Structure 1
């Protein structure tokens, strides 16, 4: 099982990393796809955490069809085989555990297994959702049902955006933004319209 580093990293420290170290530290932001961080490194330096997110998301959105499909296929199913085997990444365990997906009653397990099967048969990859954006398991299951009505192009795009939202949540837990600089008490404020 992959165990990402949860030590908080400052954005300033991220800017100092060589490509290999950058990929090592941020590769787990996207499930089993460290290539996203490796490629995003060349878009630095990153002025803000949002800029870092945008660089990572651009690599996902700009990847070829086969790479995108491979990226989607390495994600675990909701309460699926990886969850039962205990082989999900630490991040995925935490994200699914928050909504109780790791301790379900038998009828709910059967419902999720049916949804997982229908979704995978329809689209060729597992259902992916940024679970932090859902308040309850019922909300997630309603989302699966609704997304099963999508055409292939719409759902591929939706799934990739959900990957980006999962990544955003992991990034917020991993990287601290630079503090907003405050003017020195010895420096008089600059008035609007005055020369600087």
Structure 2
């Protein structure tokens, strides 16, 4: 779909089309809709990111928690969104060895226990090893630092998804 086509959509269609850009959070697209027409894809992404930045802490936390664990239970059960499945596949997370799955499971558990939400990373440009290394390193961060990093990573994921949708 082109940017011109997105700009021409009514609120319901716009929200339906872009509702998955921010994982399971169509409210982001819905709140960005009134700012149409967007001059560029970057402007659309900036508007959606601003919606997230202006959201309540509870809404931001819900957005973060809407993301699945990497190579987690939802992935193993085949319950990921199409975007998440493609992203995790692209990073090779569906091809982990038994040892890698065990390490990811332990890191996911440690991360969730410490921070109260799943580890989030835009996996493009990463492989299993670099993702595992990032998870281990970020466990040393504070909760506030990780909340901010999770939101940065979510914005990056949204940017990648928007580019793919309009390519």
TM-score range, shorter chain: over 0.9
Aligned to 1:115: 107
Aligned residues: 167
Q: TM-score, structure 2 length as denominator?
A: 0.97
The yes-or-no answer on 1:42 pairing with 2:42 is no
Aligned to 2:71: 79
Distance 1:11 1:81 in 2: 35
Aligned to 2:22: 30
Aligned to 1:149: 140
C-alpha displacement at 1:103, in angstroms? 2.2
**What runs of 5+ residues in structure 1 fail to find an aligned partner?**
1-8, 177-196
The yes-or-no answer on 1:137 pairing with 2:128 is yes
The yes-or-no answer on 1:158 pairing with 2:149 is yes
Distance 2:100 2:2 in 1: 41
Q: TM-score, structure 1 length as denominator?
A: 0.83
Distance 1:112 1:13 in 2: 40
Aligned to 1:126: 118
SS in 1 for 2:140: coil
The yes-or-no answer on 1:175 pairing with 2:128 is no
Cα RMSD between the aligned structures?
0.9
**What runs of 5+ residues in structure 2 fail to find an aligned partner?**
none
The ranges of structure 1 where at least 4 consecutive aligned residues each deviate by more than 6 angstroms after the TM superposition are none
Distance 1:143 1:48 in 2: 32
Higher relative contact order (CA 8 A, sep 6+): 1
Larger Rg: 1
